[in-house]
Amino acid sequence: MAQQKAVSGKVTSSDGDGLSNVTVIVKGTTRSVQTNADGSFSIQAAPGETLIFRAIGSGETSQLVGSGNVYNIKLSGSEEAIDEVVVTALGIKKEKKALGYAVQDIKADELMKNKNPNVINSLNGKIAGVNVTNSGGAPGASASIIIRGGTSLERDNQPLFVIDGIPMDNSTGQGDNSAFDGNVNTSTTNGNRALDINPEDIESMSVLKGPAAAALYGLRAAAGAIVITTKKGAEGRTQVGITSRVGVNWVNKLPEQQTKYKQGSYYNNKYVAQTFESWGDPFKDGDLRYDNMKDFYETASMYDNSFNISGGSATGNFFLSGSNIYQTGVVPTTDFNRSTVRFNGEQKYGKFTFGANASYSTSDTRKTLTGSGLWGSSGNGYMESVLIWPGNHNMKDYLTPDGRNNLLLPQVALENNTDNPYWLIHKNPQSDKTDRILGTVYTNVNVTDWFDITYRLGVDNYTSQFNTLVAPGSSVKEAWQNGMMSNTDKKYQYLNSNLMLNFKKQIEDWDFNLLVGHNAEDTRVKSSSLRGESFELKGVENMENFKQDNKYYSQIFNNRRIVGVYGDLRVGYKGIAYLNATGRNDWSSTLPVQNRSFFYPSISGSLIFTELFEKNDILTYGKLRSSWASVGKDAPAYVTTTGLFGPELTIGGGFRNHWTRGNDQLKPERTNSFEIGTDLRFLKNALGLEFTYYKTSSVDQILQPRVSNATGYIMTYYNIGELNNEGFEVSLNATPVKRGDFAWNTSLNFSHNKGKVAKLVGGLDILYVTDVQVGTGKAASYNNGDFMGISGSVWQKDAQGNLLLDWKTGRPLTSSSTTTYVGNREPDFIGGWNNSFTYKNWDLSFLFDFRKGGDVYNASEYLMTTYGMSKNTENRGEMLQFTGMSLNPTTKEYEMVTREVEANEAYYKDVYSKHTPNFIEKVNWFRLRAVNLSYSLPKDLLAKSKFIKGATFNAMGTNLWLLTNYSGVDPETSAAGAGVVGSGAVGIDYAGVPATAGFTFGVNLKF
């Protein structure tokens, strides 16, 4: 056999433009590459072998390798070869036309058009079926991402994140620590661990939407997967890149407050001056009125700098990068600081390829208390105080002359008082620090032209420290009034081993590919918490300043192991028809022995039906695809056994059972899915359409309902319940104009999903999300109803739907029940519209995203209403008219009556606020998510410099315009951030950091 050599060249369109992502294959072998952004490629081939070039909308083009080393190829009938090859499960690159399921990916240049410290936010509005929700405007805040609805009623429904072939943890914060130091998800703005990724390092992100696409990843990918591929060096000279950006952010919108009335209360006609509420006398001319909310926030700044150096040869490549981003927040004292270093390297030696990808990141976040503050502390979050602070008091006066807490009501006990927001941000900060190492080493050996072996070993290790401080004199429970400090160290260790054997053979018109593999992963999490109460010395804030009797310690371990084997069989015929079948069997340590082994298969197929007809200029490309898959999800750790409390100090001592009983009969949850779709391209790829219909059913849900106390327990785990999702996705892309130096590219996507709950038994009709309960409204899932529902209290009605009124007062009768269904947070549809205009060296792009329907519970408005600070309450003294049925105390019969009721403090507190629908709004929005203008210096100008090879300047604006019917701050809201189990915190708006708008200017230099 002839000796292989490096063969290179460039693939261009009929217009001479370089084509990216064209597949180049050495016929009859496993050797393949994709062309770079400029159409260039390099591959190992021997004289006498044939190169095959494939691109969407073009027939195959072949080139016999001879004595030459450079081959330039023109593909006719293809304007671009976009998304020809995508990264799928286990990092396997596949031709998109061969896939029987929907996969979409985003390249680096598109991510950078609206670069965000949290890379999840850069996906917003760009991919059909993907719902991204930013949790607020705090630096380092989390973002939740849900693909095609949820698959678990009481588990995290976010997808698996995979980077360079290794799953990475994307959990949020420290989890529920309420029993120790009061920290819950609503207590502060936690970041999810995708924040540790430098967006500049990313080459592409593939979104594997359904179980069929992600089945090979096993049970961790039951909710889909986000597959991230980082950059590598390319063959040629060494390149250096430097990017620097500076930006500002400001609060986009604030809640409306009433400005007519002072502090005070006239409840039941009895005036009280010393109260937190603002039901007092009207402001008079000459009275000082402070705009406390507007004055509280400040303009935030951002500095983002990074560099990279890359290069390579025919046998190896490398990529080295470093970055730092520093952000201040719109809330004073808050900030986020992250630094990263990455090295990717690969070297070929004969039949072997060796590689390593490694990154280190360190981040610090200073935060503040949000929501209701620390659970069980009798305290409050900063925004609660901002929302209700009376306008006749200057909120900036938070310290007495001797530096103590200047309380609004000094005569009220601290545990019943409310802290000033400035006191909270300066004296009671929250902070966290994370150090993370994420990496993989791998080797590949081409045993023969039809058989290769890949082994990959990956680690994901990080340590996060979460710190809470309560200063002496704070308005908290008595035990903490002389100060409290807590530190929680979370140590996460993950090891992944993956062996793949790949067999590939072409027999005449048939392509066969068989992949078999073995995977093992080990996860160990240890959380160690230390709390001190009542400082001994004033001004000394460390753990040594507490008596030993006032120190408390807690440690939690969570270890789990999964072992799996898998297979993937792919068959193709003439590049026209493809069939793909996968199977995986996992053994999970969290399930009982008899149920810990479970198998799940998938099958998918696609047909390029346009290859069966004569080529035409109208329908350039047409594909039908369909798939069915089943995937499992194991149980949380340790729920198959019952834990113990103790030792007890009572007579006889010993231990007692935990209040939650384990279940040694648990089975894995299972999600079955079906999807069918089509990919069409028209007018020589000038117009493209992708459509997908899907239906999923997630059964044997692992839930923790309450049980009869007669069992000796409060709760236990069961396999009950079913979660069903049905929906569709549409993606359109087009090039309406392409003339000379000008081009307009546009893409539109929208999707619809409906999530329904079924088969809850034993009187379990409602499931609540523990972290999302404000006032009478709660995030809830209803049996035989909506997964993303809202429960609450309502005014009473009779069987005919008539309002019931109190005979004496005329007010609507309220209900003590808070379980009534009052709304659904799931939107009717969501979407995005992305545009790019290029003219010579200029590029203008803008992204709109939109949503129709879905309810938002404005709990911040509920709080302001009860405290008399809502704009709605300015109509005090007006008479409101109600018509309904009322019980005549004389006749003892109901009569239809019309009564007038005064809009006063008692009405708003006792009646209006007890009707949750008053604070629920069905929202729509159309938002300018991002706009980016860039200019690249001409190449002929740069040619005069032997040093600078490229220079691009860009200006970017984010969230600059929002059209919505929502009366609150921003309808994109999630009160408890990302990672909340079940239906999550999306659509609950309560006392968080307001959303921000911003502007950034940057420069990118290449050397």
Encode pLDDT of 703-758 as tens digits: 988 777 777 788 888 999 999 999 999 999 999 999 989 999 999 999 999 999 99
Regarding predicted confidence, which is higher, 1004 or 769? 1004
H or E segment at 997? Answer: strand 996-1006
Tokens of 959: 């969230």
Encode pLDDT of 629-642 as tens digits: 999 899 999 999 98
Percent of the chain at pLDDT exceeding 90: 71
Q: Which residues of 325-352 are buried (b: 16+ CB within 10 A; e: fewer)?
A: bbbbbbbbebbbbbbbebebbbebeeee
Average pLDDT value for residue range 864-890: 96
| pLDDT confidence of residue 1 | 53
| Per-residue confidence band for 428, with pLDDT thresholds at 50, 70 and 90 | very high
- In this predicted structure, the answer to whether residue 81 has a pLDDT above a threshold of 50 is no
C-beta atoms surrounding 782 within 10 Å: 20
Task: Give the strand order in the sheet containing 894-902.
Answer: 804-805, 879-887, 894-902
Least reliable range by pLDDT among 82-86, 283-287, 427-431, 535-539: 82-86
- In this predicted structure, the answer to whether residue 650 has a pLDDT above a threshold of 70 is no
- In this predicted structure, the answer to whether residue 44 has a pLDDT above a threshold of 90 is no
Every domain of the chain and the residues it spans? 5-74, 740-749+792-1006
Regarding predicted confidence, which is higher, 82 or 495? 495
Least reliable range by pLDDT among 69-78, 409-418, 845-854: 69-78
| Per-residue confidence band for 616, with pLDDT thresholds at 50, 70 and 90 | confident
Percent of the chain at pLDDT exceeding 70: 97
Which ranges of 163-252 does DSSP label H, i.e. alpha helix?
178-181, 211-214
| pLDDT confidence of residue 611 | 87
Average pLDDT value for residue range 684-699: 94
Encode pLDDT of 225-254 as tens digits: 999 999 999 877 899 999 999 999 999 999
The DSSP bridge pattern shows strands 996-1006 and 236-251 to be antiparallel
> Which positions ≥6 away from 213 have C-beta within 8 Å?
88, 89, 99, 101, 102, 103, 224, 225, 627
Tokens of 921: 């709004």
Average pLDDT value for residue range 876-881: 95
Encode pLDDT of 183-194 as tens digits: 887 888 888 999
- In this predicted structure, the answer to whether residue 78 has a pLDDT above a threshold of 60 is no
**DSSP secondary structure letters along 704-731:** --B--GGGT-SEE-EE--EEEEEEEEEE
| Per-residue confidence band for 904, with pLDDT thresholds at 50, 70 and 90 | very high
- In this predicted structure, the answer to whether residue 262 has a pLDDT above a threshold of 70 is yes
- What mean pLDDT is reported for the chain? 91
Average pLDDT value for residue range 125-140: 91
H or E segment at 740? Answer: none
| Per-residue confidence band for 378, with pLDDT thresholds at 50, 70 and 90 | confident
| pLDDT confidence of residue 82 | 40
Encode pLDDT of 947-984 as tens digits: 888 999 999 999 999 999 999 999 999 888 887 788 88
| Per-residue confidence band for 528, with pLDDT thresholds at 50, 70 and 90 | very high
Least reliable range by pLDDT among 86-100, 201-215, 777-791, 923-937: 86-100
| pLDDT confidence of residue 697 | 96
Regarding predicted confidence, which is higher, 188 or 878? 878
- In this predicted structure, the answer to whether residue 38 has a pLDDT above a threshold of 80 is no
Architecture, CATH, for domain 5-74 = Sandwich (2.60)
Q: What is the reported pTM?
A: 0.90
- In this predicted structure, the answer to whether residue 7 has a pLDDT above a threshold of 70 is yes
